[in-house]
Structure 1
Amino acid sequence: MTATTQTVREIALEHPSSIRVFEQFGIDYCCGGRKPLAEACTAGNLEIGAVIAALEAAEKGPRPEVEDWASKSLERLSSHIVTTHHAYIKRELPRLALLAEKVVNRHGSNHTELPVIAAKLAQLDEELTSHLAKEEAVLFPYMASLERALANGSAKPRNCFGTIANPIAMMTQEHDDAGRLIAEISNLSSHFTTPEDACPTYHAFFDGLREFEQDLHQHIHLENNILFPRAIELEQTAN
């Protein structure tokens, strides 16, 4: 099924069942997905044979219902991203911030990584809040209007940024920044492993961070690997 020279991104796009495997092994399939599988395994000190075996088992096993977003309209995909992943971020980050405050107050003196995690989480919150607003107010509506214009044979809509590749490059860089911050949080928390003296709130905080990381990776995968390349290609057909 999988050639070790294929990039992680290519495998994730061709075989959606691989995403859970990549999450299991801690392989980045969104921001860092342009690495060949062999290189990603080496970087993570992973046995490539074990990863390939898990990928093949996932491909042969029962498959959950997965939406084929590559065949859907840009408007439908961007709407899904907003109502599913953007809504999750807006709901979850305030909750995680409250948990972080409680855990730092209770355990921060004994676990000095906790205040650092809380600070990085606050930075992630600030950056993502701005990022989501730009996508929802400017980029996604323009994609939808461009798609409708081409479908109707109308003129390409006007914008303030030239080619759509310009804001997409900015959004992609911000994805990289968010991916780096959540990776730093993961490393600081020993990949969300709670210590023996952890209280229930501590467990809830790390469980929430783990789930947030998984959702963020899925979110960025949809944008970086499907939505953005298709939008650039669509604009090029309009020129």
Structure 2
Amino acid sequence: METTIDNILNVTLLEPKHKHPTIFLRYDALNEGESLIIHNDHDPKPLYYQLLGERGNVFTWEYLEEGPVWWKVKIRKNIAGEIDETMGELAAKDLRKAEVFKKYGLDFSCSGKKTVKEACAEKGLDVTKVEQELQQTDKVPASHPMPYDEWELDFLVDYIVNTHHRFLRKNLPDITTNANKVMEVHSDLHPELVEINHLVKALNSELIEHIGKEEKMLFPYIKELVRADKSTPRPQSAYFKSIEDVVGNHEKEHETVGNSLNRIKTLTHNYVLPEDACASYSLLYRMLREFEEDTLLHIHLENNILFPKAIQLEKYDETN
């Protein structure tokens, strides 16, 4: 016999064979947007995966209490048409969530179009744990991060150029020089430095060419769209027919950069220095870590905020 108060189900009062069937019946009886809270004496995580497998990605799972005596979970039936936001969309709205993604090695920049469930499944991660930490960020007072998602696109373009493009032009030559220097001195005992040096040289060449194309072709056009008078014809680019025609290539180049950064991170064991590291070795790892952090934010701002909004703006101009 079950005990129900409002919409709470104490499953410890049910026979084991009746627990999941009863929860499914109660869930199916919910109207869209309504929730069921279950009380259990152990983590009901297997229920999450059964519910996902049998009903699909149509619910939200939130831990309200996690032991050691009670586990309380709120299961909400999503409203029809609601879909999981992608990692890029989540990070664009609240960059605190990006810290959770980074903690679990989830690429919210280059792979920002994937949902949390999709990304966790690919990496074999416990999605309930990741989603729980994402929910917890909503309960922490905001620290007034940069409101990138609220900026006008011309301002965002200038910010990317003046902050991230400048970082690359200033730091990549030094990173490249130091990677080669450390390789020459330490590669006998640390052969991974040869590949790291090769990757850094390739990234230097690829990124400098990439940001040059952005500054010459794509970014000026986006700024023209923002400034355009709605009573005049939409600006035309001399280099492409529409933003969608070129964004795909830019995102592929971002993905190549992301793959190289991930490889460097793997080769350096997440930038953990060997015992015989000299000052130059230590400097290289610090520079590589800063390079990764800046570049992932850079790619996030473009893939998940600038490009989608620019495409939307261009389409709006076409229909008005």
* TM-score, reference length from structure 2: 0.69
**1:124 has 2:198 as partner:** no
Which piece of structure 1 moves more, 180-189 or 130-139? Answer: 180-189
What's the counterpart of residue 168 of structure 2? 89
**1:156 has 2:234 as partner:** yes
Which of the pair is proportionally richer in helix?
A: 1
Q: Is the 8 A contact 1:31 1:176 kept in 2?
A: yes
Q: Is the 8 A contact 2:92 2:148 kept in 1?
A: no
Cα 1:138–1:19 shift into 2, 3 Å = same
Q: Distance in 1 between matches of 2:122 and 2:278?
A: 34
Q: Distance in 2 between matches of 1:12 and 1:142?
A: 26
Deviation sequence 1:158-217 (CA, Å, 0-9, x none): 223111211222211111111111111111222222212112221221121112111111
Which piece of structure 1 moves more, 64-73 or 192-201? Answer: 64-73
What's the counterpart of residue 66 of structure 1? 145
Once the 2 structures are TM-superposed, how far is the Cα of residue 127 of structure 1 from its aligned partner? Answer: 0.5
Deviation sequence 1:102-136 (CA, Å, 0-9, x none): 21122111110101101011001100011000111
SS at structure 2 position matched to 1:153 = coil
What's the counterpart of residue 112 of structure 1? 191
Q: Which consecutive unaligned segments of at least 5 residues does structure 1 have? A: none
Say how many residue pairs are matched.
Answer: 237
1:154 maps to amino acid: T
Q: Is the 8 A contact 1:23 1:214 kept in 2?
A: no
What's the counterpart of residue 224 of structure 1? 303
Q: Is the 8 A contact 1:9 1:29 kept in 2?
A: yes
Pairing of 1:1-239 with structure 2 (within 5 A): 3=60, 5-149=84-228, 151-160=229-238, 161-239=240-318
1:165 maps to amino acid: E
Compare CA radii of gyration and give the structure with the larger one: 2
Cα 1:62–1:157 shift into 2, 3 Å = same
Q: Distance in 1 between matches of 2:202 and 2:277?
A: 24
What's the counterpart of residue 39 of structure 2? none
Which of the pair is proportionally richer in strand?
A: 2
Once the 2 structures are TM-superposed, how far is the Cα of residue 3 of structure 1 from its aligned partner? Answer: 5.0
Q: Distance in 2 between matches of 1:54 and 1:196?
A: 34
Cα 1:6–1:143 shift into 2, 3 Å = closer
Deviation sequence 1:27-56 (CA, Å, 0-9, x none): 100111222212322433433344234323
1:34 maps to amino acid: K
Q: Distance in 2 between matches of 1:225 and 1:154?
A: 29
Q: Distance in 2 between matches of 1:200 and 1:45?
A: 37
Once the 2 structures are TM-superposed, how far is the Cα of residue 152 of structure 1 from its aligned partner? Answer: 4.9
Q: Distance in 2 between matches of 1:153 and 1:207?
A: 51
* TM-score, reference length from structure 1: 0.91
Q: For the aligned residues, what is the CA RMSD?
A: 1.9
Q: Distance in 1 between matches of 2:132 and 2:280?
A: 36
Cα 1:46–1:208 shift into 2, 3 Å = farther
SS at structure 2 position matched to 1:22 = helix
Cα 1:135–1:179 shift into 2, 3 Å = same
What's the counterpart of residue 65 of structure 2? none
Q: Distance in 1 between matches of 2:138 and 2:123?
A: 22
Q: Which consecutive unaligned segments of at least 5 residues does structure 2 have? A: 1-58, 62-83
Identity among equivalent positions (%) equals 35
Q: Distance in 2 between matches of 1:67 and 1:197?
A: 39
Q: Distance in 2 between matches of 1:125 and 1:47?
A: 36
